Structure 1
Amino acid sequence: MESKIRTLSEEYSGIIITAPRQVGKTTVLKQLMDKDREYVTLDDMEERHLAKTDPAMFLQMHSLPIMIDEVQYAPELFSYIKIAVDNGAAPGSFWLTGSHTFKLMELAQESLASRIAILNMHALSQHEIYGKGEAAPFTVDIDALKARKDRIEPTDMKGIYERIWKGSMPGLVSGRYKDRDVFYSSYLQTYIQRDVREQAAITDTMLFSDFIRSAAARVGQILNTHDIAQDVGVSDDTAKRWLLIMERSGVIFYLKPYSNNLLKRTIRTPKLYFFDTGLVVYLTRYSSPEILASGAISGAILENYAVSEILKTYHDNARECLMWHYRDKESNEIDIVLENDGSLHPLEIKRSVNPGSELIGTFNLLDKASVSRGKGAILCMRPELTAINTDNYVIPIWMI
């Protein structure tokens, strides 16, 4: 995202980077800072108190350009930043970061709509960890796919599950933290104690930990809030509220169902995914990539990995990702429906090395949609890019 941050800082008076904890937003911005930019974190309780009680004085005390870390702790600042922007603050005057994605989006839309650029950052993408060169949004375009082949290190099924098991948190990928279990245990404790407690009056943190674990066991599945609630003994309303907290803090996301007026028999329920597969594996207690690859969630976690990696390729380029799943009342399914340039591209995710052509049988269901159907693909463990026919490709998951 570095080049995008630089470009937007020359166009907008401010940018906001929203991201979960520990994914590197502060590190990236500090790396891009020049010596003239002041850095303030609202994790500092004295700075936070001043920002909340006297935001005008806070901004007088600090010079522009400025980076304000964890700005969600002082929403009172936003109206004053708006005044500064409206009064002609220079491009790049405000760099703002925060861990509560939805909260920051709401604050920005209320006070700074069209005045400030908003970027969503996630844990590292497959391309960032194992690739090189520019990373483009994933598309089912043959020339773009050929270009991707030389930008990411290829691997086999064993390697893919090692990537899934390891996860994508910078602290682990960089080798700074050696003990994966201790890292994720500490991450969850910090997340619950700081982010969750701030958003909801949760007194039983162990119960919430069990709730996250129950959700992790259902990645890649149609969301069933009642089942998750029953697992831990909370009400459906509580489960809905806790899932919303997880979504707002950037831990989970949903793939909504594709539907339009011409596809009347589709279901309306989303599918549940985590942004970081390493966290899912930790929560579901798989002790090695080999055990994970043969475990009960091996197919679901592979789907989670592929979906989250596609999403990252768009968000890392500050692009909206138009992506859905398809399922109708006859249980016909398409794992991903990706829209690009006015066409729908059906994608199936399979653990197989040699997927059969029968897997594209449901793709023609999209012919009834109001948007034209484009090229389709099977994302799988095949080592090389190939094709089933002129309209459907076989794409290795390592190429996403």
Structure 2
Amino acid sequence: MDYIKRHMETHILQADQTFKGLLVTGARQVGKSTLLRHVFPERSYLTFDDPILLTQARTEPGLFFRNHPYPITLDEVQHIQELFPYIKMACDASDDKGLFSLTGSQSFRLMQHVSESLAGRIAIFELSGLSMREIDGTDFCKPFIPSEAYIKERGRSAKVHEDIWKLIHRGSYPALYETDVDWQLFYSSYVQTYLSRDVNDLMKIKNHMKFMRFLTAMAARTGQMLNYSKVAEQADITVATAKEWTSVLEASGLIYILQPFSNSALTRAIKTPKLYFRDTGLVCYLTKYLTPETAMNGAMAGELFETFVISEILKSFSNAGIDYHMNVTYYRGKDKSEQRESKIDLLIEDGDVLYPIEIKMSANPKLTMTNSFDVIEKIKKHRRGLGVVLCMYPEPLWLNEQTVALPIEYV
């Protein structure tokens, strides 16, 4: 397989010049170690999937860096909390930059030993699967903040896909873009590896059958508000367990929990977060949509389409080295003066500007799809940016002076 250029490369090289170390987090198989080995080919590379190295690091951490001098790349560092005090000491003892490049299959926020030891000393990046831009081979790598300038610039490289459902169904893991990979076998092996390794690392779950039912129940609810009670009922577990296991999925990079927009002017806003899987191919596997055609025509088509678009938007931020957690939310609520419920699929915040985004699996965008965008006018200290309908229409289409329909490839 030829290496697919990752948009994060430039930001990683910049961070290596200004920080003592850097950490790339993300789910298994998204290409973390491949990325670092490509960017730093001259560095020693050690993986703690190797039980011998893992034992050495745990039993003789003080001698580890005598045997393995830095600069060095360490893979799957969530396994070796014993080394982090020594990494900290090495960072503090040297003025050199770029001493360590690390990867981890768990969220930095939940790797307590990392955050306590290395806060302020390392740059942190979150790598997802391949983005649509990376698959298409485009160099455009700005975050999706849909100003008129962005739309004009993005239009120069945007490639409209004749069958976007092949991409949605295939998924974004780099290994899937090798010519001889069997889709079903890949995801079957992925799930089994995930259950036996990441799940056990984060929590010693004894009943893997129940966890599989839980994982499948969650996949069936991607793109929906997160209802722990319904998930727990379907998986035959308690609500407390459902919440605990949700944190496992989030920590290991399989899902993203999209928070609702909060503002005192929107007193009737729903406070429930929404659930999105990071990879639509995994959702298709877990929900038994075994072909692009069955996914496109199935009951979950709208949710799969929305999940794909949200994932691409998040990738556009993280690949640009930007933490998107404070930039993206959604809105749903009912204003006192109206009987209908208002809904905005995504709000992108850039300074004091809010960009409302509607996501529609339609090739016939209409202005009525954006009726809820007016709710932004009630929010003090924020201005409404350009409203966008992301859809299947093949080119930009202005619906009025404030609203444009864009092909999803413009993400």
When normalised by structure 1's length, the TM-score is 0.96
How much does 1:318 deviate? 0.8
- Which of 139, 160, 163 is matched with 2:167 structurally? 163
Aligned to 1:326: 331
Alignment of 1:1-400 (within 5 A): 1-35=8-42, 37-102=43-108, 105-156=111-162, 159-175=163-179, 177-321=180-324, 322-329=327-334, 331-370=341-380, 371-400=382-411
Displacement of 1:356: 1.2
Contact 2:332–2:343 under 8 Å retained in 1: yes
Q: Which amino acid aligns with 1:162?
A: K
Structure 1 unaligned runs (5+)? none
Deviations 1:263-317 (A, max 9, x none): 1110111000011110001111112111211110111111101111000000011
Shift of residue 105, structure 1, vs aligned partner = 4.7
Instruction: Map Cα deviations across residues 238-272 of structure 1 (whole Å, 9 max, x no partner).
Output: 11111110000000011100011111110111000
Note the C-alpha offset of 1:174: 3.2
Q: CA–CA distance in 2 between the matches of 1:155 and 1:231?
A: 36
Residue-pair matches, total: 396
Identity across aligned pairs (percent)?
Answer: 40
Q: Tell me if the contact between 1:72 and 1:103 (Cα under 8 Å) persists in the aligned partners.
A: no
Letter in 1 for 2:331: Y
Within 1, Cα distance between the matches of 2:259 and 2:105? 23
More off after superposition, 80-89 vs 373-382: 80-89
Equivalent position SS for 1:10: helix
SS of the aligned residue for 2:404 comes to: strand
CA distance in 2: counterparts of 1:32 and 1:58, whole angstroms: 24
Tell me if the contact between 1:131 and 1:152 (Cα under 8 Å) persists in the aligned partners: no
* Cα distance in 2, alignment partners of residues 280 and 151 from structure 1: 29
Report the AA paired with residue 282 of structure 1: Y
- For 1:31 and 1:211, how far apart are their aligned partners in 2? 37
Distance 1:231 1:205 in 2: 15
- Matched-pair contact (CA < 8 Å) for 1:39–1:66: yes
CA contact (8 A) 1:131 1:153 kept: no
Quick one: which amino acid aligns to residue 359 of structure 2? I
Q: Which moved more, 1:386-395 or 1:308-317?
A: 386-395
Q: Give the whole-Å Cα distance in 2 for the aligned partners of 1:398 and 1:38.
A: 38
Separation of aligned partners in 2, 1:102 and 1:224:
26
Aligned residue for 2:81, secondary structure, equals: coil
Q: Distance in 2 between matches of 1:227 and 1:240?
A: 12
Secondary structure in structure 2 of the residue aligned to 1:59: helix
Matched residue of 1:303: which SS? Answer: helix
Distance 1:247 1:104, change over 3 A: closer
* Whole-Å separation in 1 of the counterparts to 2:265 and 2:111: 33
- Distance apart, 1:338 and its partner CA: 0.7
Give the TM-score, by structure 2 length.
Answer: 0.94
For 2:272 and 2:231, the matched residues in 1 are separated by 15
The AA in structure 1 aligned to 2:342 is N
Contact 1:41/1:47, CA 8 A, preserved across alignment: yes
CA root-mean-square deviation: 1.3
CA contact (8 A) 2:256 2:276 kept: yes
Letter in 1 for 2:192: Q
CA distance in 2, matches of 1:10, 1:271: 38
Displacement of 1:104 in angstroms is 6.1
How far off its partner does 1:379 sit? 0.5
Q: 1:67-106: per-residue Cα shift (whole Å, max 9, x none)?
A: 1111110112111111111111521110111111246653
Q: Is the 8 A contact 1:98 1:104 kept in 2?
A: no
Distance in 1, matches of 2:286 and 2:158, equals 28
